[in-house]
């Protein structure tokens, strides 16, 4: 069974990408407001989203071995809707790994606060609308080396990585805190979600 957390995150992030809304935009028709209901397998037709992936380039996701994703998978035509969706879907497990490497979601939120984006983080935890994270914040939070690493793995530019990160992180926090605060098992839930998504990516390939 697909992990519901991942379905919710992808449904929201990809729904905005398809629906043409920036942060706070409406999910695309059929994706479901929360990404849970109305999503085939709980992942919003991930197989179709990954249809934009090609295996022709050597510099692909998984080539570095750290992503845990099949080699030869990378977005094709990131400027297109399907290509951007594919990039976001492939980027999600990399963002979750980054969260793990940085001590879990609680430590990441502390880092967000230290960089002056505490108000943004509070909105992600709260039950209202998420304050959009500016791409510049992604540059600050990730740092040059991490941005370069993700750019290489995904086969897209660093600005594309920053844009994707700024969309994904708020949704991760938001979906982990439906009651307005992080539960004690938030990191365990995140780990399970990452494993489920990587399994789906392998299966789709």
Is 10 inside a domain boundary? no
Is 186 inside a domain boundary? yes
Is 187 inside a domain boundary? yes
Is 58 inside a domain boundary? yes
Domain tally, the chain: 1
Whole-angstrom Cα distance, residue 166 to residue 83?
Answer: 18
Whole-angstrom Cα distance, residue 22 to residue 131?
Answer: 11
* pLDDT tops 90 at residue 42: no
Is 27 inside a domain boundary? no
pTM for this prediction: 0.70
| Other beta carbons less than 10 A from residue 102's beta carbon | 15
Is 107 inside a domain boundary? yes
Of residues 200, 152, 145, the one with CA closest to residue 1: 200
* pLDDT tops 90 at residue 58: no
Place of tokens 């949704």: 171
Crossing angle between the packed helical segments 4-19 and 186-204, to the nearest 10 degrees: 70
The set of residues, in sequence order, having a beta carbon less than 8 Å from that of 110 and lying 6+ positions away, is: none
* pLDDT tops 70 at residue 40: no
CATH code of the domain covering residue 110: 1.10.10.690
* pLDDT tops 70 at residue 162: yes
The set of residues, in sequence order, having a beta carbon less than 8 Å from that of 148 and lying 6+ positions away, is: 158
Full residue range of the structural domain in which residue 132 is found = 50-204
Backbone angles phi, psi at 22, to 5 degrees: -75, -160
In contact, 63 and 92? CB cutoff 8 Å: no
Is 55 inside a domain boundary? yes
* pLDDT tops 80 at residue 204: no
What is the pLDDT confidence band of residue 170, given thresholds at 50, 70 and 90?
Answer: very high
Is 15 inside a domain boundary? no
Q: What is the pLDDT of residues 146-157, one digit of tens each?
A: 999 999 999 999
Q: What is the pLDDT of residues 61-102, one digit of tens each?
A: 333 334 444 444 444 444 455 677 888 888 988 999 999 999
| Other beta carbons less than 10 A from residue 77's beta carbon | 13
Q: Provide the 3-class DSSP secondary structure of residue 36.
A: coil
* pLDDT tops 90 at residue 160: yes
| Averaged confidence pLDDT in the chain | 73
The confidence score (pLDDT) of residue 78 equals 45
């Amino acid at each position: 069974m697909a992990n519901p957390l991942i379905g919710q995150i992808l449904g929201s992030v990809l729904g905005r990408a398809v629906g043409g809304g920036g942060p706070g935009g409406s999910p695309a028709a059929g994706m479901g407001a929360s990404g849970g209901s109305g999503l085939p397998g709980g992942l919003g037709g991930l197989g179709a989203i990954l249809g934009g992936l090609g295996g022709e380039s050597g510099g692909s996701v998984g080539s570095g071995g750290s992503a845990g994703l099949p080699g030869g998978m990378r977005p094709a035509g990131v400027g297109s809707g399907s290509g951007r969706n594919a990039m976001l879907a492939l980027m999600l497990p990399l963002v979750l790994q980054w969260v793990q490497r940085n001590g879990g979601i609680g430590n990441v939120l502390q880092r967000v606060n230290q960089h002056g984006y505490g108000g943004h983080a509070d909105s992600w935890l709260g039950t209202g609308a998420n304050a959009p994270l500016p791409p510049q914040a992604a540059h600050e939070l990730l740092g040059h080396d991490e941005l370069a690493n993700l750019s290489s793995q995904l086969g897209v530019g660093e600005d594309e990585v920053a844009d994707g990160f700024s969309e994904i992180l708020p949704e991760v926090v938001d979906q982990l805190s439906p009651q307005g605060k992080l539960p004690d098992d938030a990191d365990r839930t995140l780990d399970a979600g990452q494993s489920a998504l990587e399994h789906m990516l392998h299966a789709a390939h």
